[in-house]
Structure 1
């Protein structure tokens, strides 16, 4: 596969998935579209055989990020506080640090590496999305991107696991897409 075809595949697949999730967000009024879906989309289309791109790691990594973000907020008494990115308090810094540390620890301990989950945990710990309906929407958005990755990669004949990557050896998209 040429570099141009690979580039087009990654760009158009990511574009299409974000458009579909964005449409669902518009129709539902739920924040299904949030920043860490961007790096997730890149990972699942540019490096589909890397273990961190598997649907298992995508879903469980973001779930770890959500739970750790909520834990950081609870530990610092900020569960109901409004976000303030321009004047962070020590409590907010603590929530972010606790959340990121817990997310990284969980992903390492459970072997569910998915780097974009670090952004999800900060979105929550910084208070940007933290209410129960917003948390549900985040998880639905993650499940949508994982399902779309399975469908799109299968549709174009790109080897991609249904749930877990077969092994640690990453393959390049150039080797996978005809």
Structure 2
């Protein structure tokens, strides 16, 4: 695929996904469209073979972000507090730091890297989306994006894993050649 065709594919696929999710958000009245879907969509269509782009890592990475964000809010007593980005407080900073640390640890420990999940955890920990219906909407939005990614990439013949990227192939060391001995 030429660079221009690849760029057009990434642009149109991303555009279509966001329009679809936006339409679903309008029809449902739920916040299905949120900021960290942007980098998720980019990964899925620009680097479909990257481990972070796999549907498994997309779904579980954002799930880790949501759970860690809620944990950060609960640990700092902000679970029911209204968001306030204009007046930072130590509890809010603590919620964000706890949440991001937990998200990064979970993604590393479970081998589910998905960098946009770091944005999701901050969206939750900063209180922007934190009610049960909002959390459900975030997870539904992620699931819709993952499903659309499989559908669109397969439809256009773009290699993309159904669930998990194949394990990276590691080069095995070449057998050691016996040293030649010169008899002299």
Instruction: Give the TM-score taking structure 1 as reference length.
Output: 0.94
Larger Rg: 2
- Which residue does 1:117 correspond to in 2? 117
For CA contacts below 8 A with separation 6 or more, give which structure has more relative contact order. 1
Asked whether the 8 Å contact 1:50–1:168 carries over to 2, the reply is no
Instruction: Give the distance between the partners of 1:65 and 1:162, measured in 2 at CA.
Output: 22
Q: Which residue matches 2:3?
A: 3
Q: Which runs of 5+ in 2 are unaligned?
A: 170-184
Residues 117-138 of structure 1 show CA distances to partners (whole Å, capped at 9, x for unaligned) of: 0000000000000000000000
Cα contact 1:30–1:134 (8 A) shared by 2: yes
How many corresponding residue pairs? Answer: 169
In structure 2, distance between residues paired with 1:32 and 1:57: 19
1:17 aligns with 2:8: no
Q: What is the CA-CA distance between 1:2 and the residue it aligns to?
A: 1.2
Take 2:4 and 2:167, find their aligned partners in 1: how far apart are those partners? Answer: 28
What does the per-residue CA deviation read over 1:59-96, in whole Å, with 9 as the maximum and x for residues that have no partner? 00000000000000000000000001011100000000
Segments of 4+ moved more than 2 angstroms: none
Counterpart of 1:154 in structure 2 is 154
Secondary structure of residue in 2 paired with 1:157: coil
RMSD (Å), alpha carbons = 0.6
- TM-score, normalised to structure 2, is 0.91
- Aligned partners of 2:71 and 2:141: how far apart in 1? 21
Q: In structure 2, what is the equivalent of residue 130 of structure 1?
A: 130
Give the C-alpha shift of residue 168 in structure 1: 2.7
Give, in angstroms, the shift of residue 167 of structure 1: 2.3
Instruction: Structure 1: give runs of 5+ residues left out of the alignment.
Output: 170-178
Partners of 1:62 and 1:142 within 8 A in 2:
yes
Q: How does 1:24-103 map to 2 (within 5 A)?
A: 24-103=24-103
* Residue-by-residue CA offset, 1:14-49 (whole Å, 9 max, x unaligned): 000000000000000000000000000000000000
Higher helix proportion, which one? 1
Tell me the distance in 2 between the aligned counterparts of 1:124 and 1:7.
Answer: 32
